[in-house]
Structure 1
Amino acid sequence: MARELTQLELLKELSGVAEENVNRHLKITRDWNPHDYVPWDEGRNFAALGGTDFDPEQSELGDVAKAAMITNLLTEDNLPSYHRVIAENFSMDDAWGHWVGRWTAEENRHGIALRDYLVVTRGVDPVALEEARMIHMTNGFNPEMVNVETVDQMRHEGIEYAGMLHAVAYVTFQELATRVSHRNTGKACDDPIADKMLQRIAADENLHMIFYRNITGAALDLAPDKAITAVRDVVCNFQMPGAGMPNFRRHGVLMAKHGIYDLRQHLEEVVQPVLRKWNVFERDDYTAVGEAARDELGAFLDKLAEDTVKFEEMRDRALAREAKKREAKAS
């Protein structure tokens, strides 16, 4: 039986892949400036500087777009939490450290652009937004990718828990999910400036996803059992990074109802494409431990597909009721 690699050994073995993908990213990414995506001529002073404070009538965003923009921005705001998780699980040396810094700097652009756009256009209440930011960042975020029982089980089976595998697997799915959410939010804003900005942000998220997807793919080749266990844990316990922010559930429901990010998108546009890329269900290099983890993952996906159909049936009924109410009011 092959020797189980420790986290440090995994980082060393994967350092060449990390360097290759950092170089790939730097070659194909395009730097951009947040200020180029903000309609500054729409801006004006608030009351503290002799102007007028926010009034809901000033916003041209619909309720769905507001909920999505706030959720997306607060997610980006909590960057320090994600930086901490990545930095704690990666080495800060060589390509790993360079990527942590580069990724953090690129993600920070997203929050800058989103906030400037919303404040300048008065798309949402800036006071409520700041209050929510303070709450969300104070609480922080740590993705619940694995629980104590899973770690104990892994150790019982002779597999050392490697947090970096859970971290890279999580951000693979999270970056792709965020890309989908940003892209659909841009469409919902019904504003070509917002749409162009969110397309730019979504393109960044896609490149970030590719980096993490490639690292996880290499880890599956290097340590199949350990990596598929991490993938199983992440997929079966996945939460968007905005979980825990004020009004997250209400905003999430609204976004799901109106096609910003729902169960089918999560399954068909995020989870399934990544698993296919990794060839998860066709691999033959697992031991019994890895096969068991893959089987659990497959069963979870079957259940998720069933839940997706149920959700869509409920959503369609709810939207039909809302449409009837609007027709009744109009008549």
Structure 2
Amino acid sequence: MTGTTEKHDLGIMTYLAPVVADNLDRHLSLTKEWFPHQFVPWSEGSNFDGPLGGDPWEPGQSRLSEHARASMIVGLLGEDNLPSYFFTILSAHGNDGAWAEWVRQWCAEEARHSVVLRDYLHTTRAVDPIALERARMAHMANGYVNAHEGDGVLRTIMMLSMSELQARVVHRNTGMLSNDPICDRIMARLAADENLHMIFYRNLVEAALEIDPEDAMVALCDVITVFGGPAQQIPDFTALSDQFKKAGVYTSRIHIDSVINPYVRHLRLLDRTDLGPAGRKAQDRIGRYVNRIELACRRFESMRQDPQPQTN
């Protein structure tokens, strides 16, 4: 990070500090205390092989569909790597004041998610526990590399606002498609948390747009047009994501309809008129990106509805 970027970050953080404090108070007034152990069907559990001499895991023991397992593994590994996110964000935001208080609150709430997901998956024998633990070790050993590290705190905030929205959608769809009411209840609880987290970060983005619309629009363009979310750094992410794409947990259509378009509309990114040359260029690029993704989705859907005959 350059000295100029650090100076700009300090200015942004100073301007946003009261917004962070206000939104932290708002968040604490809305968030609900809940306990992971109350969501887990402990009576279904049994010992695994190893020191306790239980039964080894076998694929047939899982009552979850393959796509639900894949989606929950991705979600759990993302939550497991919170120490890396915590370090990355605090390095940008500082270790004192409202910023630090929020990051600690956020990470504590997200940690509940990893607890309930792992306990559910282990108790119901939904996944191979040895493979899951090895994936956790590999993911945490690799850490988390912020794609916008060095680009300033603003892009980190924007990335998080979109990541939380994406997580809300994935959690909710995973639960509804799991064919397990207990899983559905867990994922709905997680989605409710992620929604509040998304609103917190999105409110900061709105404030940044009012403080400096030009710079904020350029930053948003950088984030939106390459957004994939931190889960992409999970081991075997491509293979896992293919499973829940096929099942409709998270597809390109869902990405544009449930994440990109609502985000762009809420922030009125394509309607702003208070921009200079760089901001207007970024605004135009966002609009073209949205149109391009929409067109690609329509083409793909058309091909699925009207498949071309195969020739030898």
Shared fold, TM over 0.5? yes
Which residue of structure 2 aligns with residue 158 of structure 1? none
RMSD of aligned Cα (Å): 1.9
Q: Contact (CA 8 Å) 1:176, 1:205: kept in 2 or not?
A: yes
Letter in 2 for 1:6: H
Aligned counterparts of 1:316 and 1:260: Cα–Cα separation in 2: 20
Q: Contact (CA 8 Å) 1:145, 1:238: kept in 2 or not?
A: no
Which residue of structure 1 aligns with residue 140 of structure 2? 137
Which of these residues, 76, 79, 98, is aligned with residue 82 of structure 2?
Answer: 79
Unpaired runs of at least 5, structure 1: 152-160, 322-331
**By how many angstroms is 1:257 displaced?**
1.9
**By how many angstroms is 1:293 displaced?**
1.0
Which residue of structure 1 aligns with residue 92 of structure 2? 89
- What SS is found at the alignment partner of 1:6? helix
Aligned counterparts of 1:97 and 1:75: Cα–Cα separation in 2: 21
Higher mean C-alpha displacement, 180-189 vs 300-309: 300-309
Q: Where in structure 1 do 4 or more consecutive aligned residues deviate above 3 Å?
A: 310-318
Which of these residues, 81, 100, 111, is aligned with residue 103 of structure 2?
Answer: 100
Aligned residues: 302
* 1:189 is the counterpart of 2:191: no
Which residue of structure 2 aligns with residue 329 of structure 1? none
**By how many angstroms is 1:315 displaced?**
5.7
Residue by residue, what CA displacement relative to the aligned partner does 1:221-240 show, whole Å, maximum 9, x if unpaired?
00111111111111111112
Q: CA 1:121–1:134 in structure 2 vs 1: closer, same or farther (change >3 Å)?
A: same
Q: CA 1:108–1:263 in structure 2 vs 1: closer, same or farther (change >3 Å)?
A: same
Report 1:198-237 matches (<5 A).
198-237=187-226
* 1:55 is the counterpart of 2:58: yes
Which residue of structure 2 aligns with residue 123 of structure 1? 126
Aligned counterparts of 1:72 and 1:8: Cα–Cα separation in 2: 32
Higher mean C-alpha displacement, 308-317 vs 10-19: 308-317
Q: Contact (CA 8 Å) 1:92, 1:100: kept in 2 or not?
A: no
Which of these residues, 228, 238, 259, is aligned with residue 249 of structure 1?
Answer: 238
Q: Percent identity?
A: 43
Q: Contact (CA 8 Å) 2:159, 2:229: kept in 1 or not?
A: no
Aligned counterparts of 1:101 and 1:87: Cα–Cα separation in 2: 9
Q: Contact (CA 8 Å) 1:255, 1:261: kept in 2 or not?
A: yes
Q: CA 1:313–1:53 in structure 2 vs 1: closer, same or farther (change >3 Å)?
A: farther
Aligned counterparts of 1:202 and 1:103: Cα–Cα separation in 2: 14
Q: Contact (CA 8 Å) 2:59, 2:128: kept in 1 or not?
A: yes
Which residue of structure 2 aligns with residue 270 of structure 1? 259
Letter in 1 for 2:69: K
Unpaired runs of at least 5, structure 2: none
**By how many angstroms is 1:141 displaced?**
2.2
Q: Contact (CA 8 Å) 1:67, 1:251: kept in 2 or not?
A: yes
Residue by residue, what CA displacement relative to the aligned partner does 1:155-210 show, whole Å, maximum 9, x if unpaired?
xxxxxx5x111011001111000000000111122111111011000000000000
Which of these residues, 3, 17, 20, is aligned with residue 18 of structure 1?
Answer: 20
* 1:292 is the counterpart of 2:295: no
* 1:281 is the counterpart of 2:284: no
- What SS is found at the alignment partner of 2:121? helix
TM-score (norm 2): 0.92
Q: CA 1:53–1:258 in structure 2 vs 1: closer, same or farther (change >3 Å)?
A: same
